[in-house]
Amino acid sequence: MDGNLKFSALKQKQRAIRADFPETMGLRVHRAISWVGRSEACDGDDDARFLFLWIAFNAAYADEREFQSIAPGERAAFLDFFGKLVALDDDKRIYKALWQKFTGPVRLLMDNRFVFNPLSYE
């Protein structure tokens, strides 16, 4: 993962700016960074590393909209958050990670009807 931010750098940055976070956002960021740390401990186990990074991603984009009177749905929240990430990813690191480094696990997830069922989404 050369060129990517590591747990220690993310944690340091989070500590420096967390006072400005809303409480719920601070908790999400803390959880996401913790899962990034778990992924770094998976030397040689790419499957576990991918899963921990996926959990970190979900922790980061999840929000409290489900507790509000009008919930946009999990897929809408995911698409909104991921769209923002992709728009900011000038070096195409997300694309390269998904389709070059983790192409096998991503394709397995997409082919698993219990994980990704396109017919159940709008």
Q: Which domain holds residue 20?
A: 7-86
DSSP string of 7-33, one letter each residue: HHHHHHHHHHHGGGS-HHHHHHHHHHH
Residue 61 lies in a domain: yes
- Which of 92, 116, 24 has its CA nearest to residue 61? 24
Spell out the per-residue pLDDT of the chain, length 122, in tens. 445 678 888 888 888 888 887 777 787 888 889 999 999 998 888 899 999 988 888 888 766 554 444 455 666 777 788 788 888 888 888 888 777 877 777 777 777 666 555 554 44
Residue 69 lies in a domain: yes
Residue 46 lies in a domain: yes
Taking the C-alpha atoms of residue 76 and residue 82, their distance in angstroms, rounded to an integer, is 10
Residue 96 lies in a domain: no
Q: What is the DSSP letter of 68?
A: S
Residue 23 lies in a domain: yes
Residue 17 lies in a domain: yes
Residue 21 lies in a domain: yes
pTM exceeds 0.75 for this model: no
How many domains, in total, are found in the chain? 1
Residue 31 lies in a domain: yes
